[in-house]
Amino acid sequence: MLELQKTDFALVELTLYLDTHPADMQAVQQFNQLSQRRRQIAHEFELKYGPLLQFGLSYSRFPWQWIDTPWPWQV
């Protein structure tokens, strides 16, 4: 979870930077690399602990996992 939080923080910061520097190719490449890494980290987390996101962004195994603990903030 800590690695996911660190990656999310970096993605937010890069998003803010790219809003004012859209032509910075190195920043765009770093954003894309971190986005891919975030998907990997989230996938690994979800396999171990269950879904992170609602609204169709995370799959659920059967039976429905959203009611199962631990919640993401409890990990």
Enter the pTM of the model.
0.72
Domain parsing of the chain, residue ranges: 2-74
Distance from C-alpha of 6 to C-alpha of 48, rounded to nearest angstrom: 19
Do the Cβ atoms of 38 and 4 come closer than 8 Å? Answer: yes
Do the Cβ atoms of 53 and 59 come closer than 8 Å? Answer: no
Name the more confident of 1 and 55. Answer: 1
- pLDDT of 63: 59
Structure token pair of residue 53? 């996101």
Distance from C-alpha of 42 to C-alpha of 19, rounded to nearest angstrom: 25
Q: Is 50 strand, coil or helix?
A: coil
Condensed to tens digits (0 to 9), the pLDDT of residues 14-64 reads: 999 998 998 999 999 999 999 999 999 999 998 888 878 766 655 556 656
